[in-house]
Structure 1
């Protein structure tokens, strides 16, 4: 119990300390016009109040990641708390804040355009591929997981396939609506359900006399029943609760609706901290209510949705537990919708198809949903493994974009370079060791090859950054933040 309460307190403290430091390092300009005002189009660029932007950001980035991830991460024991706390404060929240604010400074540009501007034009194509692959996987995973949860409350004749189809219809309708109608009207309701259900789960866990594992010297060992190594698997299992590249695809969406740079710390950094709190509560619940073997068997029997059902009912009873489950369901529904919306706009930017008519919107939207529907037929656990790797690769790219931005601006760039280096090494170890990659397993050869790959890429990154800075003129495009998105896209594609 002490670790859970203390961990949540540290997360909140991180917002008021390190969050302020990151904000000062970025150097906000409260009087600077934002894309929501200068590029207002009534569809994607729409000014919205701070509280609504924050709720949209939280629901966009949350999905089932900060719930499913920590549930699976609970297999490793209390060591999962460390990654959630440190990851959220020093990596995830910094990652979300930097991409959100850099996007805001560049007319609401998405990650591929930002990567092209700060890492070089050839990188844009690689980033586009990874970003679109990630969003497609995210959208698919966040259709599969709520469908699995909803199926527990529907008649036997309503199959998961039918529920999946209904969710896709909802997504299509919402995707073609203006953002203030599709998200601004519904998300506050979803947000209220999420917040109430999370508080209910946490309160019941603390007040119910459950033996919540604490982080001690003896409990720091690996609890995984199969002996799966903590590094690097834990850092991919718990992503949305610590650091997630998916967030880099969502923050630019909210940068298009923000009206003041002063809102950034609360909207981007703060909502990642809130996600860390959600992750702490669900990790603690899974560890407290089930032993490792039972938890492993429950996850293997389908998806972590089985654990969500059991935790909710055991802690809150049938009625309140059902309400809590609906609080979990709104997360993937909102994030899945946001994933497809971001995927459509990124693809439109890449193909230079202006989204100014319903026909053009549907031209890109329908094929994406058809592909995703086909992916729903693949085993969830397989999808999750590919999603987690693509997710953390995107996080590395986002952190390198942020590092280059700070470096060119003469700011402290170590705040993003350090987590970027750690995650880059983890990405290499994962792809070299796992069956979805080279399958060499965990061992000295994997660690050495991964270290060499990390050093090589960082060396190239540093060399290109130094050359980029040496070639800059005082009025360089790279040094000056652009407010006009159309101008930014033109500059990076020429």
Structure 2
């Protein structure tokens, strides 16, 4: 219990200390007009207040990541707590804050456009393809997951296919309609359900004195699987996730003032880390250790853990509400995944999105492809999603490092976590069954060499970009409205 409570305290402390430091390094401009006003279109660029933006951001980035990932990560024991705390404060929250704020400075630009600007034109097509692929995988995964949870919750009374169809209908509406019509109105309530349910489980663990294990490095699981780099691909959204870089531009287009950025971007990542801590602790403590957790996961997957924990901690009624909170998570990330994909493709093709017909012809093919992807084995999709997710996080962190390097600011806050994860991403794909299947010792060597080469190329590009005085932000000096 001491490890668990200390970890929660460190996450909160990190927001008020390191979060403030990152904000100071970036250097906010309260007087600068934001895209919500400069580019207001009533569809994607719509000013919304901090509370609403924060809850929407939390739901956008969460998915099932801070629940299912930590539950699976609990198999590694309390060492998972370390990655959640360290990863969240020094990598994930930095990643989210920088991508959000740099997007605000560049009229709400998405990651592919930012990567093209700061990492070179050669990255344009690669990152666009990579981002759309990731978002399609996310959207597809987050159709299947909530449909399965709802099917269990309803005792199979509604067919899985019907639930999937209903979720797709909702996704189409949320993708096409203006951001303040569905997302802006419903998400704050959904966010409240998510936060209350997670806090309920967390308080229940403390009040009931759950036997949460203390930190130990002597008991790594699962057997025969290396904790490094696998833990970084098992626990993602609760510590570091490239998916977030595709979501922050949605809110960078609705943020009223740069001073709100730390709470919206850095703060909501810390909130997600706390949710991840709660679910990891619950999984570790309530099922008679590793073997009990492993058996329940084998029988019913992470969804079974969610159902059991919720009922044990909150009773039948409260447990049902908690499960609904978890169902909301993937739905509210799936819809914004498709929305982001639509916006990225529109930017790539330079197609204005004010007319619904323009949104429609871009969005419908995405949904058609996703329907086909739902027929592929879920576990295979999830493995590719996990790798693509963290590879995207690396790109986003390097974009942040490049921005700070050109600005002659402390770029190490982004380059260090970016380089660390670059090693992990290369090592994983060299060793993994979905990759090159090389022996782990060879994969580690390849990861280190590959990262060293790419970091050297980064510095070469950075020096060139600084010498060429690449503009860090879009000029909005002729627009004076600031909230």
Shorter-chain TM-score bucket reads: over 0.9
Q: How much does 1:199 deviate? A: 1.0
1:435-488, Cα deviation, whole Å (9 max, x unpaired): 111011322x1111111111111111111211222233xxxxx2341056xxxx
Runs of at least 5 residues in structure 2 that lack an aligned partner in the other structure: 477-483
Alpha-carbon separation, structure 1, partners of 2:386 and 2:222: 21
Q: Is contact 1:107-1:483 (8 Å) kept?
A: no
1:130-174, Cα deviation, whole Å (9 max, x unpaired): 111111111111111111110013363522122111100011112
Alpha-carbon separation, structure 1, partners of 2:304 and 2:224: 22
If the length of structure 2 is used for normalisation, what is the TM-score?
0.96
Give 1:253's aligned residue. Answer: 250
Q: How much does 1:54 deviate? A: 0.4
**Stretch deviating more after TM superposition (175-184 or 87-96):** 175-184
Alpha-carbon separation, structure 2, partners of 1:437 and 1:264: 37
Alpha-carbon separation, structure 2, partners of 1:422 and 1:429: 11
Give 2:347's aligned residue. Answer: 349
Check if 1:435 corresponds to 2:433: yes
Q: Is contact 2:151-2:157 (8 Å) kept?
A: no
Q: 2:281 aligns with which of 276, 281, 284?
A: 284
Give 2:267's aligned residue. Answer: 270
Q: 1:409 to 1:304 in 2, by over 3 A?
A: same
Give 2:479's aligned residue. Answer: none
Check if 1:69 corresponds to 2:61: no
Q: 2:473 aligns with which of 448, 463, 481?
A: 481
Alpha-carbon separation, structure 2, partners of 1:399 and 1:327: 30
Alpha-carbon separation, structure 2, partners of 1:396 and 1:296: 31
Alignment map for 1:203-222 (pairs within 5 Å): 203-215=203-215, 219-222=216-219
1:302-357, Cα deviation, whole Å (9 max, x unpaired): 53112111111122222211111001111111111111100111011112222222
What is the root-mean-square deviation of aligned Cα atoms in Å? 1.2
User: What SS does structure 2 have at the residue aligned with 1:243?
Assistant: coil
Q: How much does 1:376 deviate? A: 1.6
Give 1:405's aligned residue. Answer: 403
Q: Is contact 1:35-1:483 (8 Å) kept?
A: no
1:346-399, Cα deviation, whole Å (9 max, x unpaired): 011112222222222111111111211221222222111111100000000000
Alpha-carbon separation, structure 1, partners of 2:466 and 2:329: 42
The runs of at least 4 consecutive aligned structure 1 residues that moved more than 4 Å come to none
Alpha-carbon separation, structure 1, partners of 2:184 and 2:309: 30
1:103-124, Cα deviation, whole Å (9 max, x unpaired): 0000000000000100111101
Alpha-carbon separation, structure 1, partners of 2:13 and 2:155: 46
User: What SS does structure 2 have at the residue aligned with 1:121?
Assistant: coil
Alpha-carbon separation, structure 2, partners of 1:37 and 1:221: 54
Q: Is contact 2:234-2:386 (8 Å) kept?
A: yes
Q: Is contact 1:38-1:483 (8 Å) kept?
A: no
Q: Is contact 2:92-2:241 (8 Å) kept?
A: yes
Alpha-carbon separation, structure 2, partners of 1:401 and 1:87: 18
Give 1:182's aligned residue. Answer: 182
If the length of structure 1 is used for normalisation, what is the TM-score?
0.94
Q: 2:416 aligns with which of 398, 401, 418?
A: 418
Give 2:316's aligned residue. Answer: 318
User: What SS does structure 1 have at the residue aligned with 2:100?
Assistant: helix
Give 1:303's aligned residue. Answer: 301
Give 1:453's aligned residue. Answer: 450
Give 2:387's aligned residue. Answer: 389
Q: Is contact 2:67-2:276 (8 Å) kept?
A: yes
Give 2:138's aligned residue. Answer: 138
Give 1:85's aligned residue. Answer: 85
Alignment map for 1:20-31 (pairs within 5 Å): 20-31=20-31
Alpha-carbon separation, structure 2, partners of 1:4 and 1:50: 29
Alignment map for 1:227-246 (pairs within 5 Å): 227-246=224-243
Alpha-carbon separation, structure 2, partners of 1:182 and 1:124: 31
Q: 1:466 to 1:150 in 2, by over 3 A?
A: same
Aligned residues: 475
Give 2:291's aligned residue. Answer: 293
Give 2:480's aligned residue. Answer: none
Q: Is contact 2:41-2:354 (8 Å) kept?
A: no
Alpha-carbon separation, structure 1, partners of 2:112 and 2:44: 18
Q: Is contact 2:105-2:472 (8 Å) kept?
A: no
Alpha-carbon separation, structure 2, partners of 1:37 and 1:80: 42
Alpha-carbon separation, structure 2, partners of 1:447 and 1:59: 35
Q: Is contact 2:132-2:341 (8 Å) kept?
A: yes
Give 1:152's aligned residue. Answer: 152
Alpha-carbon separation, structure 2, partners of 1:327 and 1:400: 34
Q: 1:118 to 1:376 in 2, by over 3 A?
A: same
Alpha-carbon separation, structure 1, partners of 2:299 and 2:350: 44
